[in-house]
C-alpha cells in the first residue's frame, strides 16, 4: 500500500516550466510590438492547454488517492492567483491617481470585472475590440485570459467529479471531453465571420474552452503520475523527435502568424492546441531529454515566475508609454520597461505569491518589517512618479493642436450621387467631378467622408468600422449588383491588419474592367503597418490599371494631422487626406 501511495505522487516537471517561459516571453514580445513576434499572442493559447492538463492531472491524482476536495482545490487556486492580481490592480490604481485620474475612472468596469474574473465577458458585452484599439490601451486589458482560466477552475472540478462518478473508465470520460471540445470548436466556427473583428470569438469562454479541454483530455489519457521513465532508447528518441518537431511548429506559428489571419479562426487555434498538447505530453514524460533541455535553469526560473511576468508586463508597457500613438519599439524605453517588469515580477513572486500560497505571508511581512528599510524604496517610487507625471504633462501639452476633435466615426455610411447633386467644391468644379468614383474603406474613409464628398460631388463612399481587406470582394460584388460600382475605385484598407496577397490579386482581377483602381497605403502605429504597405505596392505593380496613393509618405512628419490615436484625423487632417485622394481623381479625369 505504501509503495502504491508513493507511486501516486505529484512530481516536478522542469520542461513544463520551460514551455511556460517560452509562452510568456512570446506574449511579452507581442505586446512590445516586435515585428518577429506578431504571433506571440498564441502564447496565451499554450497557457490554456497547459492549465487544462496540469489542473486535470492534479484532480485525477487526488481522486485516485481519495483526497479530493473541491473546496480545497478552490482555496489553492485563490491563494495562487488572486493576491498577486489584486496587488497589481491596486498598484495600477495608485499610479493612475497620481498621473492620470480621469483614466482611472474609465477603468472601473475593467477592474471590477477582473476582480470577479468576468473581464472577458465584460469586454464582449461592451464591444471592446482586442484588435482595433488605436487609442490609449487599458493597462489591464490582458486580464481577459485569466478570467477564462478562473471560470474553468470554478466549473471544471465539479464537472470532472460528476464525470468520474458516472464514467470512471478513462475511455468513456475521454469521449465526453472530446464532445465538449467539438462543441467549443464549432462555436468558434459558427460565430466567426471572416474579414470582421474576431474579438467575440477571441474573448469568449465558450469559443476558447476547447484549448483547455484538449489539455484536460491529455491528462485523462496521459497522466503524469502514471508515466514510467523506464522505456527503450527507441521510445525515448521517438519522444524527443516528436516533441522537438512540435516545438519547431509552435515557434514557426509564433513567427509567421498574424492576429488577423483567417487561418486562426477556427482551425488555427485548434491546431495550436493540438500541437501544444503534443509538446506537453513529451515534456511530462520523465524519460524525455527535451524536458531536461527546456528545464534548464534560465527557462525554469522564468517559467516559475511566468504568472508574475504575465500580470505585470502589460501595465508596465502601457503606463510607461506616454505617447499612445507611438507604439514603435524604442530600445531605451524597452530596456527600462523590461527592467521594471522583472523587478515587479520578482517582488510579487517572492513577497506575495509564494508566501500566500505557502501560508507564510504574515511571517514574511514580519521579516520585511524588521530587516528592511522602506525609505529608499519610497524615495525611488516618488521619484519615478514625479518623473512620469512630468513627462505625461509635457507630452499632453505638445499634443494639443488647434481645432483638435474626435474622429468622425459612424457605424456604416454609404454616400451616393443622389446627395449634393448640385453642389460645387471650393474651386467651382462641376458636380460630375466625383461621378464614377467609388471609395471603399474602413473607419478612416468614414473619417474623411464629408470632406471627400465636398471635393468630389457624386462620389460613392462605402465605409465600415473594422473592415478588413478580406471583406472587400463582398463589398465590390454588392455595389456592382446595385449599380453603384464606378469605373475609378479607391481601396482604403489595411488599417486594421495585414491581408492575404492572393485574395487581393483575385479582387483586383475581378476589377479588370475598371478604368483605374487606387490602393491607399496606411499609417497606423501597429506592427503590421510596414508589411501592409509593402504588400500593397508589390501587388499594385502586377496590374497596369492599379496605382498607389501613398498616404504613408504624404503624412510623414505631420503629427498635427492626426488625432490622439495616431490613425484617425483632425479636421485639418481630414481635409488634407481628402485633397490627396481628390488630386489623383482629378488628374486621372483631366
The secondary structure of 406-429, three-state, reads CCCCCCEEEECCCCCCCCCCCCCC
pTM for the model stands at 0.76
Radius of gyration of the chain (CA): 27
Q: Are residues 302 and 450 in the same domain?
A: no
Q: Is residue 385 part of a domain?
A: no
Whether 160 contacts 62, CB under 8 Å? no
Residue from 462, 568, 574, 584 carrying the catalytic annotation: 568
pLDDT given at position 412 = 42
Distance separating alpha carbons of residues 421 and 356, to the nearest angstrom:
71
Report if residue 483 sits inside a domain. yes
CATH number of the domain that 506 lies in?
3.40.50.1110
- Calculate helix-pair angle for 70-99, 306-319, nearest 10 degrees: 20
Q: Is residue 133 part of a domain?
A: yes
CB 346 within 8 A of CB 305: yes
Local structure of 486: helix, strand or coil: coil
Identify which of 68, 64, 55 has the alpha carbon closest to the alpha carbon of residue 16. 55
- In this structure, the answer to whether residues 436 and 295 fall within a common structural domain is no
Domain boundaries, position 455:
412-589
Say if residues 443 and 465 touch (Cβ distance below 8 Å): yes
Q: In which element (H, E) is residue 355 found? A: helix 354-357
pLDDT at 482: 92
Look at residue 495 and tell me if it is in a domain. Answer: yes
Asked if residue 319 lies in contact with residue 139, where contact means CB atoms within 8 angstroms, the answer is yes
Would you call 443 a catalytic residue per the annotation? yes
| Residue found under cell 465539479 | 158
| Structural domain includes residue 6 | yes
Q: Is 420 part of the annotated catalytic residue set? A: no
Return d(Cα 494, Cα 549) in angstroms, integer.
Answer: 13
Catalytic residue among 416, 550, 565, 579: 565
Instruction: Show the cell assigned to 377.
Output: 524604496
Are 207 and 191 in contact by the 8 Å Cβ rule? The answer is yes
| Grid cell 473619417 in the structure block, residue | 447
Does 419 lie in the same domain as 345? no
Instruction: Encode the chain (590 residues) as per-residue pLDDT tens digits.
Output: 444 444 567 788 999 999 999 999 999 999 998 878 889 999 999 999 999 999 999 999 999 888 788 999 999 999 999 999 999 999 999 999 988 888 898 899 999 999 999 999 999 998 887 876 555 788 999 999 999 999 999 999 999 999 888 887 888 999 999 999 999 999 999 998 876 778 899 999 999 999 999 999 999 999 999 998 889 999 999 999 999 999 999 999 999 887 767 788 878 999 999 999 999 999 999 999 999 999 999 999 999 999 999 999 999 999 988 655 555 667 888 999 999 999 999 999 999 999 888 776 566 555 655 565 555 555 555 655 565 555 555 544 444 443 333 333 333 444 443 345 333 344 444 446 788 999 999 989 999 999 999 999 999 999 988 788 888 999 999 999 999 999 999 999 988 777 778 889 999 999 999 999 999 999 988 777 888 999 999 999 999 999 999 999 999 988 889 887 788 899 999 999 999 999 888 776 65
Among 297, 325, 359, residue at a domain's last position: 359
Segments of 442-514 assigned E as strands: 460-464, 488-492
* DSSP state letters, 186-200: HHHHHH--TTS--HH
Same domain, 225 and 126: yes
Q: For the segment 501-529, what is each residue's pLDDT rounded down to a tens digit?
A: 888 999 999 999 999 999 999 998 877 78
C-alpha cell at 584: 489623383
467 and 557 belong to one structural domain: yes
In a domain, 116, yes or no: yes
pLDDT value at position 421?
36
- Give the span between the Cα atoms of 416 and 410, in whole angstroms: 16
Total domain count for the chain? 2
Residues 115 and 249 in one domain: yes
As given in the structure block, the three cell numbers for residue 28 are 511579452
Question: In terms of domains, do 64 and 161 share one?
Answer: yes
Tell me if 441 is assigned to some domain: yes
Phi and psi, residue 66, nearest 5°: 55, 35
Residues pairing with 440 in the sheet:
462, 491
How many angstroms separate the Cα of 172 from the Cα of each of 160, 218, 219, 281? 12, 14, 14, 20
Q: Would residue 371 count as lying in a domain?
A: no
Q: Is 11 helix (H, G, I), strand (E, B) or coil?
A: coil
Q: Are residues 252 and 351 in the same domain?
A: yes
Backbone angles phi, psi at 515, to 5 degrees: -65, -40
| SS3 of residue 127 by DSSP | coil
C-beta of residue 344 within 8 angstroms of C-beta of residue 316: yes
Instruction: Examine the domain organization and report whether 466 and 531 are in the same domain.
Output: yes
E strand intervals along 341-480: 412-415, 437-441, 460-464
Same domain, 201 and 128: yes
Question: How many Å apart are CA 350 and CA 419, to the nearest integer?
Answer: 66
Q: pLDDT value at position 65?
A: 86
Same domain, 34 and 120: yes
DSSP letter at 349?
I
Identify the three-state secondary structure at position 489: strand
pLDDT tens figures, 51-80: 999 999 999 999 988 878 899 999 999 999
Task: State the alpha helices, DSSP H only, in 167-232.
Answer: 170-191, 199-203, 205-221
Any catalytic annotation for residue 142? no
The residue from 23, 288, 443, 555 that is catalytic is: 443
State the DSSP string of 266-305: THHHHHHHHHHHHHHHHHHSTT-HHHHHHTSHHHHHHHHT
Cell of 545: 490599371
448 within 8 A of 482, measured Cβ to Cβ: no
Same domain assignment for residues 102 and 27? yes
Edge-to-edge strand order for the sheet containing 488-492?
412-415, 460-464, 437-441, 488-492, 516-520, 546-549
Contact predicate 280/218, CB 8 Å: yes
Cα–Cα distance, 49 to 310 (Å, whole number)? 16
Last-in-domain residue among 359, 384, 402? 359
Q: Give the span between the Cα atoms of 237 and 275, in whole angstroms.
A: 18
Any idea of the CA torsion for 142, 148, 150, 153, to the nearest 10 degrees?
Answer: -150
Nearest to 108 by CA among 127, 129, 89: 89
End-of-domain residue from the set 292, 327, 359: 359
Q: Any idea which residue has 480545497 for its cell?
A: 72
Amino acid at each position: 500500500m505504501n509503495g502504491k501511495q508513493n507511486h501516486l505522487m505529484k512530481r516536478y516537471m522542469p520542461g513544463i516550466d520551460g514551455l511556460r517561459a517560452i509562452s510568456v516571453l512570446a506574449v511579452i514580445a507581442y505586446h512590445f510590438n516586435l515585428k518577429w513576434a506578431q504571433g506571440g499572442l498564441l502564447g496565451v493559447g499554450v497557457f490554456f492547454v497547459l492549465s487544462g492538463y496540469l489542473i486535470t492531472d492534479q484532480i485525477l491524482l487526488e481522486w485516485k488517492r481519495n483526497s479530493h476536495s473541491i473546496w480545497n482545490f478552490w482555496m489553492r487556486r485563490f491563494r495562487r492567483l488572486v493576491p498577486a492580481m489584486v496587488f497589481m490592480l491596486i498598484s495600477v490604481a495608485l499610479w493612475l491617481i497620481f498621473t492620470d485620474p480621469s483614466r482611472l475612472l474609465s477603468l472601473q468596469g475593467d477592474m471590477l470585472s477582473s476582480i470577479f474574473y468576468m473581464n472577458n465577458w465584460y469586454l464582449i458585452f461592451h464591444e471592446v475590440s482586442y484588435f482595433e484599439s488605436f487609442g490609449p490601451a487599458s493597462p489591464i486589458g490582458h486580464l481577459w485570459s485569466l478570467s477564462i482560466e478562473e471560470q474553468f477552475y470554478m466549473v471544471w472540478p465539479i464537472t470532472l467529479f460528476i464525470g468520474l462518478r458516472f464514467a470512471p473508465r478513462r475511455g468513456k470520460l475521454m469521449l465526453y471531453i472530446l464532445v465538449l471540445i467539438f462543441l467549443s470548436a464549432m462555436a468558434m466556427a459558427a460565430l466567426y465571420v471572416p474579414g470582421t473583428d474576431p474579438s467575440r470569438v477571441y474573448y469568449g469562454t465558450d469559443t476558447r474552452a476547447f484549448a483547455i479541454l484538449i489539455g484536460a483530455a491529455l491528462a485523462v489519457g496521459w497522466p503524469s503520475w502514471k508515466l514510467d521513465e523506464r522505456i527503450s532508447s527507441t521510445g525515448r528518441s521517438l519522444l524527443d523527435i516528436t516533441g522537438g518537431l512540435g516545438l519547431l511548429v509552435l515557434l514557426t506559428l509564433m513567427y509567421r502568424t498574424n492576429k488577423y489571419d483567417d487561418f486562426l479562426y477556427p482551425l488555427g487555434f485548434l491546431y495550436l492546441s493540438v500541437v501544444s498538447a503534443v509538446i506537453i505530453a513529451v515534456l511530462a514524460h520523465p524519460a524525455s531529454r527535451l524536458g531536461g533541455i527546456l528545464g534548464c535553469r534560465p527557462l525554469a526560473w522564468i517559467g516559475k515566475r511566468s504568472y508574475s511576468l504575465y500580470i505585470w508586463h502589460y501595465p508596465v508597457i502601457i503606463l510607461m508609454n506616454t505617447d499612445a500613438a507611438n507604439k514603435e519599439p524604442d530600445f531605451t524605453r524597452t530596456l527600462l520597461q523590461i527592467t521594471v517588469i522583472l523587478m515587479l515580477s520578482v517582488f510579487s513572486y517572492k513577497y506575495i505569491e509564494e508566501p500566500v500560497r505557502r501560508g507564510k505571508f504574515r511571517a514574511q511581512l514580519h521579516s520585511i518589517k524588521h530587516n528592511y528599510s522602506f525609505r529608499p524604496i519610497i524615495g525611488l517610487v516618488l521619484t519615478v512618479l514625479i518623473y512620469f507625471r512630468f513627462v505625461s504633462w509635457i507630452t499632453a501639452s505638445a499634443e494639443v493642436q488647434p481645432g483638435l476633435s474626435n474622429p468622425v466615426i459612424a457605424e456604416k455610411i454609404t454616400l451616393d450621387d443622389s446627395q449634393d447633386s448640385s453642389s460645387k467644391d471650393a474651386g467651382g468644379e462641376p458636380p460630375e467631378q466625383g461621378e464614377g468614383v467609388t471609395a471603399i474603406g474602413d473607419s478612416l474613409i468614414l473619417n474623411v467622408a464629408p470632406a471627400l464628398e465636398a471635393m468630389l460631388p457624386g462620389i460613392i463612399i462605402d465605409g465600415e468600422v473594422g473592415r478588413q481587406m478580406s471583406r472587400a470582394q463582398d463589398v465590390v460584388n454588392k455595389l456592382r449588383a446595385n449599380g453603384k460600382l464606378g469605373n475609378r475605385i479607391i481601396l482604403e484598407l489595411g488599417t486594421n491588419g495585414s491581408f492575404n496577397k492572393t485574395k487581393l490579386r483575385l479582387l483586383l482581377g475581378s476589377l479588370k474592367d475598371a478604368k483605374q483602381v487606387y490602393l491607399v497605403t496606411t499609417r497606423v502605429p501597429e506592427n503590421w503597418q510596414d508589411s501592409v504597405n509593402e504588400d500593397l505596392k508589390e501587388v499594385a505593380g502586377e496590374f497596369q490599371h492599379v496605382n498607389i496613393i501613398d498616404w504613408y509618405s504624404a503624412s510623414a512628419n505631420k503629427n498635427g494631422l492626426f488625432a490622439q490615436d495616431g490613425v484617425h484625423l483632425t479636421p485639418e487632417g481630414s481635409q488634407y487626406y481628402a485633397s490627396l485622394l481628390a488630386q489623383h481623381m482629378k488628374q486621372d479625369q483631366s
